[in-house]
Amino acid sequence: MTHPTPRDEPPLTYLDHAASTPVRPEVRAAMAPCATEIFGHASGSHRQARAARTALEDAREQLAALLGAEPREVVFTSGGTESDNLAVFGVLGAARRARGKEGGPTIAISSAVEHSAVLEPCRVAAQRLEDVEHRAIGVDASGAIDLDELAAMLRAEGAKVALVSVMLANNEVGTVQPLADVAELVGRLAPHAALHTDAVQAAPWLDLAAAASGADLVSISAHKLGGPKGAGALVVRGDRRLDAIVVGGGQERERRAGTHDVAGAVGLATALAASAACRDEEAVRVGALRDRLADGICSTVPDVLETAGRKGVLPGHCHLCFTGVDREELVVLLDASGVCVSGGAACASGALEPSHVLAAMGVAREAARGAIRFSLGHTTTAADVDRALAVVPEAVGRLRA
Amino acid sequence: MRVLVAMSGGVDSSVAAALCVDAGHEVVGATLKLWGGPSDSGCCSVADVDDARRVAQQLGVAHHVFNFADEFKDDVVGPYVAEHARGRTPNPCIECNRHIKFDRLLERAHRLGFDRLATGHHAQVRAVRRDGRDRFELRRGADASKDQSYVLSMLGQAQLERVVFPVGHLTKAHVRAEARRLGLRTAAKPDSQDVCFVHGGAGRGGFLGERLELHPASIVDGETGEALGTVDAVELVTVGQRRGIVAAGARRYAVDVDVPSRRVTVATAERAAVDEVELDPRGVTWVDAPLRDGDDAFAQMSAHGKPARCTVHFDEVTDTRDVTTPGDDAAVNHTPQRRLRVRFVAPQRPVAPGQTLAWYAASDRDLVVGAGIVAAPGRRLGDGALR
């Protein structure tokens, strides 16, 4: 069945970089040899295997340096979700076994606004593993974790806490979390707990070597950085015991089995390197575009809430709540004009689910109903912002009429 | 024209979308997420959404998923449960059409700039000129065995003006042939049979049992008053049903379900037959001109039931004690009530309160005239009367 040619489609205005972002040309170039010359199984013993292994280890070292870690602390995975799963199940499984029959629950603490790739493993671990509990810490109106509530929880539970997971920046609204403060509290009040941070959304914008230095485990994902989908990594500092979830051939020091995705690893490292090389300039450039977009919309459209404010938010994020509008409808209208944005997380069927992040932030239901995330990235231009500003106010007006 | 096609993931709506594309319209497909509960295996499950999405991809049209789960819970599932608690048997597919598909979805389509909403229903809309105005007729689908006009009988001019049924003039066989010709993934997919939120396994009983306290009841013979046995769950008994009525002797049908008294009244087929039913006058809808007192029509009381000749009576009643006012236990009213009776030419099987009665024109039994909801168990007149 042939695809009929689409009618004249409006130009693409892609403003969903937080979901995924185009692969950088240098990443494609770096990955290309993996399909042709460097195709061996990296675990093998011959020349072809060595070539693959070398490429893999080059990528690992490059990544480690950018992340402020040792090469042996980098575990390659299939992406951010797997990294988060490995962190949560890995730490909790090992902790539970170590605790043994000693009694008392094993506790995982996370913020209430974590990505489902952290919240779901916490929930499932609590369900599947005996005597494991998950506690969620609230956030303030800007989406930042409530440090007092966290401190109180740590004091109350102390040695029972095996894992604390707080994302470095929130994917929906872009709030940067006070991870250094969290690390200080955990170090002081629950020193045996592992601190994990999901740095998937923050990686393009923050120097993780500095910003995530206090975390014991750090998740990143290639495709948020201009790398390929299907590749990510988990930094596991020190000699921490982790229960692997993918077991088999023992690769990645028994932490993650499976034939290495050398292309993916190369793509991930190259993407992070490319992103890091111009990080500061990009933060300024994209931040300015974001400001123009947000200011433009807020000045022409009444009843709009800048959900997380502007301070302490990633430079590419512009999350707005249009009161009196259904976000599903706004996404469809904008899509018809070529503007690609996100109305929120989707469930298995693709339908939008109510946002646990906005609920935790105390955003009113009427406002949350009209929540749209615009997210800018490395390929966003002034023309994108111009087109968005030409389309958004009219679309909103139409739905409110 | 810009057409939004409601795509359930079934073959009918798949072909409906294809036909709209062929006709040169700007088409966008949408699948509704209505229910994500454990019985997510009926219509519009995740698998169905994937099928609909794939068909849209094959046709080269955009596809969206609309989450109407909250509204569905409020407008369809909630009332479904509440009505059963009162011993009534609503038709949730009709309520979904009434509140969700041809109300909320239709409004959304309009807001999004679509000229029409298309579905895969087997029914037909025909534009006619009457008294110098454009009117819209709702007619049965061409394939009588698949006709769905009954579940669409609540529609009126405002909806019909903006709705199209692209497969309504085709037979099911033709629809499937067309799907195969286009190589659509859904060509051989079986039709969904059950209510979309009720799982085949546990069934209606299982679904309601999780949401309602079910109570045993006695089975009583309507003629003699004799106690004949019991049922496990009075809330699951439907007027007109025969299955599950365990009683000695001739087969009996439920003619009344009294939840508060925990009593199911039964009668033999001959004695159970009804001559007339009463409808809730507040719940009546007309496609166009209403029937008037004394008009003849055909009445259809189920999706594929045989239409029955009837006459419609609107009675003005000032003595409210005569009026059955469903939804209220006591009609404390001092204003004149209208009472709507449908008198059948020939005795009919009893109809459960909560069921829809659709009228078709006396002179044209493919033409839908309107619909109402049965308010009370029907009755036999003359010496056949049970009460």
pLDDT digits (tens, 9 = 90+) for A286-300: 999 999 999 999 999
**Which residues of B, range 112-141, sit inside 8 Å of A by Cβ?**
112-113
- Indicate which of A326, A332, A355 best probes the interface with B, i.e. most B CBs within 10 Å of its own CB: A332
Does CATH number 3.30.420.280 belong to domain A13-22+278-400? no
Q: Give pLDDT, residue A256.
A: 97
Task: Give the gap in angstroms from C-alpha A4 to the nearest C-alpha of chain B.
Answer: 6
Shortest alpha-carbon distance between residue A153 and chain B (Å): 34
A3/B contact by beta carbon, under 8 A: yes
* pLDDT, tens digit only, all 401 positions of chain A: 334 445 568 999 999 999 999 999 999 999 999 999 999 999 999 999 999 999 999 999 999 999 999 999 999 999 999 999 999 999 999 998 888 767 679 999 999 999 999 999 999 999 998 899 999 999 999 999 999 999 999 999 989 999 999 999 999 999 999 999 999 999 999 999 999 999 999 999 999 999 999 999 999 999 999 999 999 999 999 989 899 999 999 999 999 999 999 999 999 999 999 999 999 999 999 999 999 999 999 999 999 999 999 999 999 999 999 999 999 999 999 999 999 999 998 877 888 889 999 999 999 999 999 999 999 999 999 999 999 999 999 999 999 98
Distance from CA of A354 to the nearest CA of B (A): 10
- Enter the CATH code of domain B213-271: 2.30.30
| pLDDT score, position B44 | 59
A350 vs B58, B65, B69: nearest CB: B65
Name which of A14-18, A138-142, B106-110, B272-276 the model is least confident about.
Answer: B272-276
CB nearest to A349's CB, from B46, B59, B184: B46
CATH 3.40.640.10 in chain A is located at 25-276
Candidates 3.40.50.1000, 3.40.50.300, 3.40.640.10, 2.50.20.10; CATH matching A25-276: 3.40.640.10
Indicate the residue of B26, B65, B182 with minimum beta-carbon distance to A1.
B182
Indicate the domain borders of chain B: 2-181, 213-271, 273-384
pLDDT over 80 at B42, yes or no: no
Q: A 379-398 residues with CB below 8 A of B? A: 398
Is residue B58 within 8 angstroms of chain A, CB to CB? yes
What confidence score (pLDDT) does residue B192 get? 80
Of B26, B46, B183, the CB nearest to A348: B46
CB contacts of B33 in chain A (<8 Å) are: 347, 349-351
CATH homologous superfamily, domain B273-384: Translation factors (2.40.30.10)
Q: B183 contacts in A (CB within 8 Å)?
A: 1
Taking the alpha carbons at both ends of chain A, their separation in whole angstroms is 41
3-state secondary structure chain B: CEEEEECCCCHHHHHHHHHHHHCCCEEEEEEEECCCCCCCCCCCCHHHHHHHHHHHHHHCCEEEEEECHHHHHHHHHHHHHHHHHCCCCCCHHHHHHHHHHHHHHHHHHHHCCCCEEECCCCEEEEEEEECCEEEEEEEECCCHHHCCHHHHCCCCHHHHCCEECCCCCCCHHHHHHHHHHCCCCCCCCCCCCCCCCCCCCCHHHHHHHCCCCCCCEEEEECCCCCEEEEECCHHHCCCCCCCCCCCCCCCEEEEEEECCCCEEEEEEHHHHCEEEEEECHHHCEECCCCCCCCCEEEEECCCCCCCEEEEEEEEEECCHHHCCCCCCCCCCCCCCEEEEEEEEEEEECCCCCCCEEEEEECCEEEEEEEEEEEEEEEECCHHHCCC
Query: Are A347 and B53 a contacting pair at CB < 8 A?
Result: no
Of A349, A351, A399, the CB nearest to B111: A399
- CA of A329: which chain B residue's CA is closest? B112
**Is the confidence at residue B38, as pLDDT, over 70?**
no
What superfamily in CATH does domain B2-181 come from?
HUPs (3.40.50.620)
Q: What is the reported pLDDT for B47? A: 85
pLDDT at site B325: 47
**pLDDT band with cut points at 50, 70 and 90 for residue B141:** very high
| Closest CA–CA distance from residue A197 to any residue of chain B (Å) | 31
pLDDT at residue number B329: 44
ipTM of this model?
0.85
Predicted local distance difference test score (pLDDT) of residue B318 = 59
User: Would an 8 Å CB–CB cutoff place A37 in contact with chain B?
Assistant: no
Say whether pLDDT at B384 is over 80.
no
Catalytic status, residue B43: no
A238: contact with B, CB 8 A cutoff = no
Select from B33, B50, B114, B184 the residue whose CB has the most chain A CBs within 10 Å, as the one to mutate to test that interface.
B33
The size of the A-B interface in CB pairs under 8 A is: 59
pLDDT at A2: 38
Residue B333 or residue B112, greater confidence: B112
Enumerate the CATH 3.90.1150.10 domain ranges in chain A, comma separated.
13-22+278-400
Of B382 and A349, more confident: A349
- If you measure CA to CA, which chain B residue comes closest to A395? B112
